[in-house]
Chains A and B, each alone.
Chain A
Amino acid sequence: MSKVKLPYLLLLPGFLFLFTFFILPIANLAQTSTQTPIADGDTGQYEQTLRFSNYLDAFTENQEQFARSFVFALCATVLALAISYPLAYAIAFKAGKLKNFLLVLVVAPFFVSFLLRTVAWKQILGEEGFIVPSLRTFGIISESTTLTSTSFAVIMGMTYNFLPFMTLPLYASLERIDPRTMEASGDLYANGITTFRKVTLPLSMPGVVAGTLLTFIPAAGDYVNAAILGSPNTRMIGNVIESRYFKIVDYPTAAALSFTLMVAILILVTLYIRKAGTEELV
């Protein structure tokens, strides 16, 4: 076999897989997004009319859900980062022999189904859970306040569900830092906070970027958390797409919304990487 052909041959299985399960569906989605209902047809029968204003209609009708998706995803990402960074830092530098055990704990939730874990959160935050009664006892929330079916519950659910995607890349990038660079910083007149700001944080930026992307992107498109932990008032764009597809059988609008979401995420991510990549870290 010639040397030139071998790499292509190795690429072939991956290419075939992606072509069948990614490129073809995307192309199908693209052509669905500009269809219109057949005049005398049944529900769910559409024909191609290249009606690009489907996009504008879909967007204007669901601006609120779009905005909510990004706000919720942003909140969940920021919360996950705030929880994960100290956790990953402790595992990387302070855990000693417990390091591997703690990493297993971080991944452990994956052993239980995503849906099941989200339903569990419904119980934790529910009336019969221990949190609501405790908060009421201490007077932190009023007797009439509930935690389920709120934005709070949806954001907490997303934070929890995507936490490992934040923690693992953060850990990987913190663990690669030579502890001597932090010692050197202390040696060169930087106190603990300055060392963190000038050395540890900049050196862990690859992990921060990877972790925030791996959390934000799936969170922005998520519908499970909003469906289980939220209410009609906390619907995210994922829920809209889901109901358009499976309940209303409005394929073109669902497809247009999917594409709009994809493009919006792509633009945001590109801007973010540009900013994080060229930021003056000194």
Chain B
Amino acid sequence: MTDASSATRGDLRLTRITKTYGDFTAVNDLTLTIPEGSFFALLGPSGCGKTTTLRMIAGLEEPNVGSIHLGATDITTKRPYQRPINTVFQNYALFPHLTIFENIAFGLRRRGIKNVDADVNKVLELVELPHLAQRKPTQLSGGQQQRIALARAIVNRPALLLLDEPLGALDLKLRRQMQIELKWIQREVGLTFVHVTHDQEEAMTMADTIAVMNEGEIEQMGSPADLYDNPETAFVANFLGQSNLIKGRIEGTDGDNLVVDLYGQKIGMPKNRSHAVDNSIYAGIRPEKFRISLVGTPTRGNTLTGGRIEDVSYIGVSTQYQVMMPWGQEVMVFEQNDDGVAPFDKGDEVVISWEPNFTFALRGDEDAEAGTEVIPEDLDEE
């Protein structure tokens, strides 16, 4: 294929980027490095600034402050057509008056490449739609249009491929299929993908590295497993999956462990999983890490007694329990349905327990509800 970016290659660096619209700060002092060749996701709720960030990388918006570098080249003020960067737009933005072939050839022709047939056909093979070359975009299904939008971008072999909620308009089943396909294509073509999404499952399925954004800033960045297992803020803990955050105090240390008091009950957790700044913390435990046992049966690890089952939801692969703790907080517990039946009933008096290593600690002055109220809104709003 023909390379759009032989001159500029390398990591993408955003340095202290700020973008405001009137009184609204969309992106606030953002610094970020996206390594060459990675599949990078910007994850966050609607209005968190992720699409604005993407548009600044594409050149469709200009930052008020800060710089954008691709390798050694400063591209902050370059026009979109001067950047070796291509975008897969939300809702695809295919050219309705051109055939699929000409849609894909558009970028190549603009760069003055005369013989485009080989490149276009190759990329049509890659997305498995060579038979649609002479159709018009409106004659294609949503999933097919999505692939053509991808083909139209990657045929240029850009230094950076931007994907703006690329799967937002597809139904759930097709979306899952395309997630796997996109990841495969990224490995196949070896380009840097930057993917913007509000769907945490989508980000976790595809990306090597996820940056979780909230209110114009990056809350935390890391691999999907890092973010999920060891979130640093309440927002990340709640936005990526679900978390039980229990108010507590650090009472002391015991070797590499912290001793934490949760409403009068002592638990242990590794020191290096605490992101607190003082003794006041929220102890965080993922619902699937909890185990439930009836009062009187033996338990391992940390235990919290005095629970009562408030609600039982059987959802096939697991059963979800709402357990009322003595201090008036309901915690969530997901139990795998290994043996096929829900062994606990509403009203059962129970003890919950978990491995100390699964505990994480957040600052005690955080809003424990941050990131929970976020409902994926209409995509076009952003």
Residues on A lying within 8 angstroms of B by beta carbon are 178, 180-181, 183-191, 194, 198-199, 202-203, 281-282
Contact = CB atoms under 8 A, between A and B. Distances in A.
A282 B97 CA distance: 9
A183 B81 contact: no
Given A180-B89, A180-B91, A191-B81, 19 more contacts: A180-B90, A180-B93, A181-B95, A183-B60, A184-B89, A184-B93, A184-B95, A186-B60, A186-B79, A187-B86, A187-B89, A188-B110, A189-B4, A189-B81, A190-B81, A190-B110, A203-B95, A203-B96, A281-B97
Contact of B110 (A189, A202, A281): A189
B89 A183 contact: yes
Interface in B106-123: 106-107, 110-111
B232 interface: no
A188 B98 contact: no
A194 B93 contact: no
Contacts of A181: 93-96
B99 to A, nearest CB: 8
Nearest to A181: B93
A183 B93 contact: yes
Nearest to A198: B106
Contacts of A186: 59-60, 79-81
Contacts of A282: 98, 102
6 contacts: A180-B93, A185-B106, A187-B58, A190-B110, A194-B110, A203-B97
A188 B156 contact: yes
B107 A189 contact: yes
Nearest to A188: B107
A187 B79 CA distance: 9
A186 B12 CA distance: 20
B111 A189 contact: yes
A187 B96 contact: no
Tell me the interface secondary structure of chain A in the complex: helix
Contacts of B89: 180, 183-184, 187
A268 B366 CA distance: 74
Interface of B: 4, 58-60, 79-81, 85-87, 89-91, 93-98, 102, 106-107, 110-111, 152-153, 156
B87 A187 contact: yes
Contacts of B80: 183, 186-187
Contacts of A281: 97-98
A188 B88 CA distance: 11
Contacts of B95: 181, 184-185, 199, 203
Contact of B87 (A178, A184, A191, A202): A184
Nearest to B98: A282
Contacts of B91: 178, 180
A184 B150 CA distance: 12
B93 A178 contact: yes
A189 B89 CA distance: 15
Contacts of B79: 186, 191
Contacts of B152: 188
Nearest to A191: B81
Contacts of B85: 187
A42 B80 CA distance: 78
A184 B103 CA distance: 10
Nearest to A190: B110
A200 to B, nearest CB: 10
Most buried by A among B58, B85, B86, B110: B110
A203 B136 CA distance: 13
A199 B85 CA distance: 20
List the 5 closest pairs (A to B, CB-CB), nearest first: A180-B93, A188-B107, A189-B110, A186-B80, A184-B93
Contacts of A180: 89-91, 93
Contacts of A199: 95, 97
A203 B137 CA distance: 14
A202 B97 CA distance: 7
Contacts of B156: 188-189
A5 to B, nearest CB: 36
A158 B194 CA distance: 54
B93 A188 contact: no
Contacts of B153: 188
Nearest to A194: B110
A176 B107 CA distance: 23
A242 B358 CA distance: 95
Contacts of A203: 95-97
B300 to A, nearest CB: 55
A180 B149 CA distance: 12
Nearest to A205: B97
Nearest to B101: A282
Contacts of B96: 181, 203
Nearest to A184: B93
Nearest to B58: A187
B98 A187 contact: no
A70 B111 CA distance: 42
B97 A188 contact: no
Contacts of A188: 81, 86, 106-107, 110, 152-153, 156
A180 B86 CA distance: 13
A14 B95 CA distance: 39
